[in-house]
Structure 1
Amino acid sequence: MSFHRSCLAAALLLACAPAWADPVAVHCGRLFDARSGQMRGPHTLLVVDGRIQQVVSGGNADVLGWQAVDLRDKVCLPGWTDLHVHLGSQSSAQSYSEGFRLDPVDYAFRAVGYAEKTLMAGFTSVRDLGGTVSPHLRDAVAQGLVKGPRIFAAGRSIATTGGHADPTNGWNDQLSHLIGPPGPTQGVVNSVDDARQAVRQRYKEGSDVIKITATGGVLSYARSGDAPQFTVDEVKAIVETAHDYGFRVAAHAHGTEGMKRAVLGGVTSIEHGTYMDDEVMRLMKQRGTWYIPTFYAGRFVADKAAIDGYFPEVVRPKAARIGALISETAAKAYRNGVRIAFGTDQGVGPHGDNAREFIYMVEAGIPAAYALQAATVHAAEVLGVDDQGVLEPGKRADVIALAGDPLEDIGAVMDVRFVMKDGVIHKQP
């Protein structure tokens, strides 16, 4: 294929694009600078081959022969990242029984729809923290077989026996004896050696990130939602082995002691953090540990706990107690300087409604600009990538546009009018 092509708009210092490129000029009325947290005036984004080639101030740069997208009455932002989703499922009153009735393929078909809803809501990347579907869905999206966000997949979560993410919790004796106790292959560990094996198994299965359940959980069929479930040595073994493969480690944690052990063990992020205390906050600041509060999940489970029959009775009191505390904890963590990034735990709540998390963050006292940074530059740092989260030359052309200015009215995040991922337009006015 020939590379010969007329170089257009020399005044803009554009390089000649390859013949197969589909260059696009995106004219924005305003543009959110994720690095500074400030809203800028009109700009034009020049996109070639999935990357932003140039950002031109003024928003009126006409490039002959390029596809033009007119968003002059819209606000452009980097595509958002949700760092905590579960695309293979979505909570309902039937969720617990469905685990015995549905096959993996059923969850996979559901996940296709959930992925597209997430993308159309403005989330061009997600970190899927637990589920056997997610690595396969990641590959299908990357191959262009289905529409969805860029997926960083954890695969199976790593738990301890009886802990949150032990897949046999709540099974009767007959089933338990028939299947036998789960081990590292299934993500259940009880020693340092088990911990290393479980990480290596996730590598074998194609995971991108490791997720551990450092404490009990709200929705698992078990009594405790906050008891610690790993030793520090086990966490360290997981983190050290994960680093061998270039993985980062996310730790689900509600209880204080479990969080402390996870932070001391070297995890990248704490998810939920319900009972986080001053000591844990101090350790997180010292070690640079990120906090992903998941406001949405806390509110959702607290609301559903009030409905008879929605959760099993062993789950209901945890949902009512823990869910209601997340907002208070996250607000305190922000005031104390803990670094916060964006995650919803969608799959608990409905997919496609992820942006409501911004509203909950602002209601808790987190500035709108910081909330938007949490889903852009902060999220990229948590993922360990440097090619997304900002609208700058050389970065991925992940661009979304809102009808209104979220710095003036955070509710504008619920009205996404334009979505581009890797230079491909998926939604436009």
Structure 2
Amino acid sequence: MNNIIAGVIKKAPSKMALLISCSLISSAALAQADKPTLLIADGYIDVAQGKTIKNVAVYIEGNTITRVTTEKPSLASGSFQVVDLSGKTLLPGVMDMHVHLTGDAEDNFLASREYSIPRQTVKAVKNAEKTLLAGFTSVRNLGASGYSVIGVRDGINAGEIAGPRIWAVGHSVSITGGHCDDNFSAPEKAIKAKGVADGPWAVRAKVRENIKYGANAIKVCATGGVFSKGTKVGIQQLTFDEIKSAVDEAHMRGLTVASHAHGTDGIKASIKAGVDSIEHCSFMDKEAIEMAITSGTYLSCDIYNTEYTLAFGEANGVPEENINKEKQVSKAQRDSFTRAVKAGAKMVFGSDAAIYPHGDNGKQFSRMVKFGMSPAQAIQSATINSAALLKQDNLGQIKSGFLADIIAVDGDPLDNISLLENVTFVMKDGVIYKQQ
């Protein structure tokens, strides 16, 4: 067993007695120290500078980082719970700005659409934990039925279940028959998704309804999408006035807005309307990229999941229409990503987890590097950039005064970005959830 874990057990037997044989847990925190914590590692990623600082000691009191130094700590007083992470590099907990915790890519596509809200909630509990243990300590959940993920978020915040910090939008706002409506059911069932709203005032009312039931972010579906029936990915569906009404209401209430937008016209309308981030960004021309740069709009491009969909989608029951739409957007989306990176657009990490298995989020880092980012830029997209999008000035860095969301990998991810696919240490809010 890891020596540090054994030390924690010795110091806190009442909390750890049932974990003696475990170095990785699945439903509760590994340890919460009774006194301040000291992490010692080979180095840490200074994400603001984009470089590795060698030989680091990080002091943590409660859920807050109080000091970060390269000076060798004095341990004579025994006043700290020491966690020795020799051979590892520390990073701030990484963030995924586009997940759907209620869905599993491995489930049959059409059958899973019939899952009840309680069933979806159970899925979200499981996937929240998997996401946290993969090193993603904050996520934005961009759409779920029945306010299920809002309930999971509240359970996490109450300390009842394990999971990342969650910004949840409630129901995605869409037009009748558009992406984010339910177009798979027969007409006689008269099923309409709960986020459907037609016209600016109806859209504003839907935003208010989401906020009423706990949403702390908002999503609009400005264009068609890959995994909906009867929509064209490049075609705008919400009008400018409808998008603008959602943005105005959300911003007035202090919430950020994500816009699902594959097509060029929908991307431009969303930027003009003042959304905070564009999701997918598949068909961006030069003007759209320049508009995003000028407006400071963040771009979130899910460029990993294509491989999974094309390899396993058919076997998992994804209809031919949707497979063909994935083929249509995949190269265009990656080309748009590359051009946006070269142009200097603001980028955040968004994976669309649920289109591929939760917990594999970190596999997107290597794709981001493959298609144009440096390893430092890829890490910044999931740390300081995502924190800025969320307007969180105490997340995204290992720095005094910041919340103690810290992960570690074996080696230096600036030398090998794929190391982020195997996070070996996870701390969130000063609590250790994983140590290998």
> What is the aligned counterpart of 1:96 among 106, 110, 114?
110
Cα distance in 2 for partners of 1:318, 1:235 equals 24
Shift of 1:400: 0.5
What's 2:44 paired with?
31
Cα distance in 2 for partners of 1:65, 1:48 equals 11
> What is the aligned counterpart of 2:70 among 54, 57, 72?
57
Partner SS state of residue 324, structure 2: helix
Structure 1 gaps of 5+ residues are 1-19
Return the TM-score normalized by structure 1: 0.90
Cα distance in 2 for partners of 1:139, 1:93 equals 26
Return the TM-score normalized by structure 2: 0.89
Shift of 1:324: 3.5
Cα distance in 1 for partners of 2:379, 2:45 equals 9
**1:195-224 residue CA offsets vs partner (Å, 9 max, x unmatched):** 110110011110010011110000012241
Partner SS state of residue 325, structure 1: helix
Partner SS state of residue 59, structure 2: strand
Q: Does 1:327 align with 2:334?
A: yes
Shift of 1:97: 2.1
CA gap 1:145/1:77 in 2 versus in 1, 3 angstroms:
same
What's 2:272 paired with?
264
Partners of 1:83 and 1:342 within 8 A in 2: yes
Cα distance in 2 for partners of 1:190, 1:104 equals 25
Partners of 2:110 and 2:317 within 8 A in 1: no
Cα distance in 1 for partners of 2:187, 2:396 equals 49
Cα distance in 1 for partners of 2:212, 2:162 equals 26
Cα distance in 2 for partners of 1:300, 1:133 equals 26
> What is the aligned counterpart of 1:81 among 72, 76, 95?
95
What's 1:66 paired with?
80
What's 1:281 paired with?
289
Structure 2 gaps of 5+ residues are 1-32
What's 2:304 paired with?
296
> What is the aligned counterpart of 2:161 among 146, 167, 171?
146
Matched to 1:287, the amino acid is S
Cα distance in 1 for partners of 2:156, 2:248 equals 30
**1:71-114 residue CA offsets vs partner (Å, 9 max, x unmatched):** 121100000011100111112461212222x2111111121111
> What is the aligned counterpart of 1:370 among 369, 373, 377?
377
Cα distance in 1 for partners of 2:315, 2:348 equals 33
Partner SS state of residue 399, structure 2: coil
Shift of 1:60: 3.6
Q: Does 1:427 align with 2:401?
A: no
- RCO higher in 1 or 2 (8 Å CA, sep ≥ 6)? 2
1:162-201 to 2 correspondences below 5 Å: 162-166=177-181, 168-176=182-190, 179=191, 186-201=194-209
Report the number of matched residues: 401
Partners of 2:109 and 2:316 within 8 A in 1: no
1:348-367 to 2 correspondences below 5 Å: 348-367=355-374
Partner SS state of residue 103, structure 2: coil
Give the superposed CA RMSD: 1.6
**1:393-414 residue CA offsets vs partner (Å, 9 max, x unmatched):** 1110001010011111111112
CA gap 1:93/1:122 in 2 versus in 1, 3 angstroms:
closer
Q: Does 1:344 align with 2:351?
A: yes
Partners of 1:88 and 1:110 within 8 A in 2: yes
What's 2:244 paired with?
236
Partner SS state of residue 95, structure 2: strand
Partners of 1:300 and 1:323 within 8 A in 2: no
Partner SS state of residue 45, structure 2: strand
Q: Does 1:414 align with 2:426?
A: no
Matched to 1:269, the amino acid is S
Cα distance in 2 for partners of 1:308, 1:117 equals 23
Cα distance in 1 for partners of 2:424, 2:281 equals 33
Partners of 1:21 and 1:49 within 8 A in 2: no
What's 1:246 paired with?
254
> What is the aligned counterpart of 1:310 among 295, 307, 317?
317
Partner SS state of residue 188, structure 1: coil
Cα distance in 2 for partners of 1:255, 1:21 equals 52
CA gap 1:422/1:226 in 2 versus in 1, 3 angstroms:
same
CA gap 1:420/1:59 in 2 versus in 1, 3 angstroms:
farther
Partner SS state of residue 433, structure 2: strand
What's 1:158 paired with?
173
Partner SS state of residue 73, structure 1: strand
